[in-house]
Amino acid sequence: MLSRRHFLVTALAAPLAPRRLWAASTLTSGSWQLDTLSDGTLMLPGDFVLGGMPEAEMREIASRYSLSTDQLTPPCNVTLLRDGTNTVLFDVGAGPDFQSSAGKLAESLEALGVAPDEITHVLFTHGHPDHLWGLLDEFDEPVFANAEYAIGQAEFDYWTDPETVDSIGEARTTFAVGAARRLAVIADSVRKLGDGEEVLPGIAARLTPGHTPGHMSFELAAPSPVMVLGDAIGNHHIGFERPDWASNSDHDKDLAAKTRSALLERLAAEQMILIGYHLPGGGIGRAEKAGSGYRYVADL
């Protein structure tokens, strides 16, 4: 049986400080509990995602979703799994050094009553700042000191390759520098994953490349199977309606489009629960076939 609940927690840092609001969405399946915790939001220029798409069609879709094509503000959903034995984070958010609107995972964990030293495993979908940069504290020590870490082998190799900083493009040079610095701290202990490898009992790594060279999603064999997507499907609008369109947010645009299309075909056919890092309402939902594309359905 599946159940889902939402809750909001508010806190004031000081009497005159602005109110901060964290949202969590919880899914239970058998003995598994999955919480998606807000790391805040990103502030992205519209062209970062929408640039190069067929203009008229793109604007029609954006209009139906009330999207600004000048700036996008996607949410960031970090997934927490508790199965009675392990306490697992999928990605660690942006930390304090990327964007001021993000990096709120510590507050969200506190609101949920989970301490950093309770995390037993951290599984990375990929090495972009909003997924990896929350790894270290201000002393460059891992925030989750008791955790074991895992990342795709190809993903680790890409971000730790000294040539990446020169080949990634000027706009993303800081992505490469930041990823290399953080991964160096855990390089000797992080587990490097291959496609299909079982990370923990009931958790399999699935190579979903294109957004980054070694992007991993994670398939959870809970009583009702769940796919933690990371950024393999990066939004609930054009990513679903036109998964075949290339997006500027992806490292290999053509490969990412093929990955998205194949994922959505499977997710819709099997009605598998999905969790998307940048999907609305906590990011837990399903994909449904809709015309020549798909529709994101948030309500389970």
Query: What six digits make up the tokens of 251?
Result: 């490292």
31 or 106: whose pLDDT is higher? Answer: 106
269 CB-near residues (< 8 Å, 6+ apart): none
- What integer pLDDT is reported at residue 19 of this predicted model? 36
Is the pLDDT at 16 greater than 70, yes or no?
no
**Number of neighbours of residue 138 by Cβ within 10 angstroms:** 9
Question: What does the alpha-carbon distance between residue 41 and residue 165 come to, in Å, rounded to a whole number?
Answer: 26
Is the pLDDT at 21 greater than 70, yes or no?
no
Contact yes or no for 228/217 (Cβ under 8 A): yes
Is the pLDDT at 296 greater than 60, yes or no?
yes
Question: What does the alpha-carbon distance between residue 150 and residue 190 come to, in Å, rounded to a whole number?
Answer: 5
- What is the mean pLDDT of the segment spanning 133-162? 97
- What integer pLDDT is reported at residue 8 of this predicted model? 53
Share of the chain above pLDDT 90, in %: 86
pLDDT, tens digit (0-9, with 9 covering 90-100), for 208-242: 999 999 999 999 997 789 999 999 999 999 999 99
- What integer pLDDT is reported at residue 3 of this predicted model? 52
- What integer pLDDT is reported at residue 153 of this predicted model? 98
Is the pLDDT at 84 greater than 60, yes or no?
yes
Triad 98, 50, 268: Cα angle to 5°: 95
- What integer pLDDT is reported at residue 284 of this predicted model? 93
Is the pLDDT at 20 greater than 80, yes or no?
no
- What integer pLDDT is reported at residue 31 of this predicted model? 83
Reported confidence tier of residue 5, pLDDT bands at 50, 70, 90? low
What backbone torsions phi and psi does residue 74 show, to the nearest 5 degrees?
Answer: -70, 145
Mean pLDDT of the chain: 92
- What integer pLDDT is reported at residue 224 of this predicted model? 85
Is the pLDDT at 10 greater than 90, yes or no?
no
Contact yes or no for 124/131 (Cβ under 8 A): yes
pLDDT, tens digit (0-9, with 9 covering 90-100), for 239-275: 999 999 999 999 999 999 999 999 999 999 999 999 9
Is the pLDDT at 24 greater than 90, yes or no?
no
Q: How far is CA 46 from CA 50, 72, 206, 220, in A?
A: 6, 6, 29, 33
